[in-house]
Chain A
Amino acid sequence: MKRILIPIFYTLLVRPWLKYIIGVRFENVKGLREAKQFIIIANHNSHFDTVSIMASLPPKHFLNTHPVAAGDYFSKTKVLDWVSKNILNTIHINRKRDASTGNQPSTIDVLNGLLKQGKSLLLFPEGSRGEPGVMSDFKSGIAVLLKRNPGLPFIPVYLVGFGRVLPKEKTLIIALNCKVRYGEPIVPDPNKSVDEILELTQAAVKSLRKRDERRYDKFAFD
């Protein structure tokens, strides 16, 4: 049931709503059709990011791609928990490891297990929704995953303008033009060190940023 409903829900409702009402433009999505397994990495400014990237995927990838989200935030209310797990296909992870979670497998191991099962991931390596228009440094987890899975491509995505549509700590969604821009899939060289791969991923996302679009990342004045 879920296998049929989710693609229909995305193709008939979410994508047209994003495209024609909110004003999201999906750029260069075609490259995804050939890809089998991948890790999508993107900059993060808004909860809207996850929804838009999920909606931009071709139908065959909806159920196989798992956005990785912070469990402490998304398990707060039952509704949020249900929506994120069932509609967005989210994997909840623990951002903070303390004594009580000591016996559980680490985040990296959980994600690595999913990759070994053939699933794809959507990661925001900045860790949290930072300030709009400012890209903070990537956490090293993404590089470790890529290092452990040689031959697995990552797809860089740059998101423009989502910080205005639904900023941090706001609930009102307003329509303003924004973009989801895909880059070409990149397979990192397995001989490189974790730090080098991390730098590569960060540079790939940054290279998709265009200078004259910066003003759409956030409001001109506050």
Chain B
Amino acid sequence: MNPDFQNMLKWYNAIPEEIKLVFFFVFALLVLTSITLFIFDRIFHNKITKELIQRTNSWWKIAIGVFIIGTFPRIYGTVIVAFISYSTLREMLSISPLRASDRLAIFLCYVAVPIQFYLAHVGFYNGFIIFITLIMFMLIPIILVLSGNTRGIGRSMSIIPAILIVTVYMPSHLMMLFHLEFKDFLLGGTGLLLYVIILTSFNDIFQYTWEKLLGDKKEIMPKIIPNRTFGGFTLGVMTTAGLAVLIRFLTPFTMWQAVLLGTTIGICGFFGDVLLSAIKRDLKIRDTGSVLPGLGGFLDRLDSLIIAIPIYYHIIRYIAQLS
């Protein structure tokens, strides 16, 4: 037999059954959606199907990305997540009101990305947890002061580290999931990663669907995000918690732990969305996709994951210590 084929077979057999099942389900769903939309597009030719096709295509990209992160050697995953984090950082810095004197500090932010992801990759917890929150938080203001321009320095001192937290520190927790150890649990980081990504993605869909189904008018924050209602939010989070129990086989959690995590992810996902909408509103960016390249891409996709991931990580880290 061809050695390449044998290697492929070995790699395929190493993937746990549960993970295979989930990916089979996800890809089957995507194929089905794509075919349906293709046929619909042929018949109706309208704007809505075009938009849905675009969305499905970006879901394809996400699914393939998660597949590579979850099943390939871990270094691939680290490089992919680090690259996405870098792109998001660049997008955020590009739209923020900064000063010409901040250029060196901006450069340092980019240097911090590989360092942070290296620390997450090797699982050096202490370094990973303080590198940005402590070292970069001190270094950036010092560099800003050294530039000699004090006008508006306070604004830059707060914006730049905050962007670093949101776009680098928080996503880097994804790679730390691979370093958690549980008793009698073999799926490891792949299962934990799939769990949080599936829950945040479906949480968005659930909340949207419930809002459409209920049609209630009581909006939570009409000034920031219109159309998000109390009913949709509550039922969306509850459905997410239900799904969390349903796909518990990916994780070592008990039923109540799954309910807690599902609820937390649902609430965090909502607030991640609100947070980014508020920033966009402040910067008067309404149609993110057209104003700046890629902004409609990474930043909009990541918004609900950003807050959920670190909180999820720290809860399950605590659970791991208990077990």
Contact = CB atoms under 8 A, between A and B. Distances in A.
Interface of A: 20, 23, 25, 161, 164, 167, 170, 172, 174-177, 179, 212-213, 216, 218-222
Contacts of B110: 174-175
Q: Is the interface of B mostly helix, strand, loop or mixed?
A: helix
B100 A176 contact: no
Contact of B151 (A23, A213, A221): A221
Given A23-B293, A213-B291, A221-B152, A176 B90 contact: yes
B97 A220 contact: yes
Contacts of A25: 293-294
A219 B98 CA distance: 6
B99 interface: yes
Q: What 5 A-B pairs have minimum CB-CB distances, sorted nearest first?
A: A220-B97, A25-B293, A177-B94, A221-B99, A219-B100
B94 A219 contact: no
B106 interface: yes
B103 A174 contact: yes
Interface in B62-101: 83, 87, 90-91, 93-94, 97-101
A219 B57 CA distance: 34
B100 A222 contact: yes
26 contacts: A20-B87, A23-B87, A23-B94, A23-B293, A161-B94, A164-B100, A167-B100, A170-B103, A172-B104, A172-B107, A174-B103, A176-B90, A176-B94, A177-B94, A177-B293, A177-B294, A177-B295, A212-B291, A216-B94, A219-B102, A220-B99, A221-B98, A221-B100, A222-B99, A222-B100, A222-B149
B26 interface: no
B292 interface: yes
Nearest to A27: B293
Contacts of B291: 212-213
A195 to B, nearest CB: 36
A222 B103 CA distance: 11
Contacts of A212: 291
B112 to A, nearest CB: 13
A213 B293 CA distance: 11
Contacts of A174: 103, 106-107, 110
Contact of B292 (A20, A164, A175, A177): A177
A23 B90 contact: yes
Given A23-B294, A216-B292, A221-B152, A177 B99 contact: no
A170 B147 CA distance: 14
Given A25-B293, A174-B106, A213-B291, A219 B90 contact: no
A39 B99 CA distance: 35
Given A23-B90, A174-B110, A179 B98 contact: no
Given A172-B107, A176-B94, A177-B293, 4 more contacts: A172-B104, A176-B106, A177-B294, A213-B291
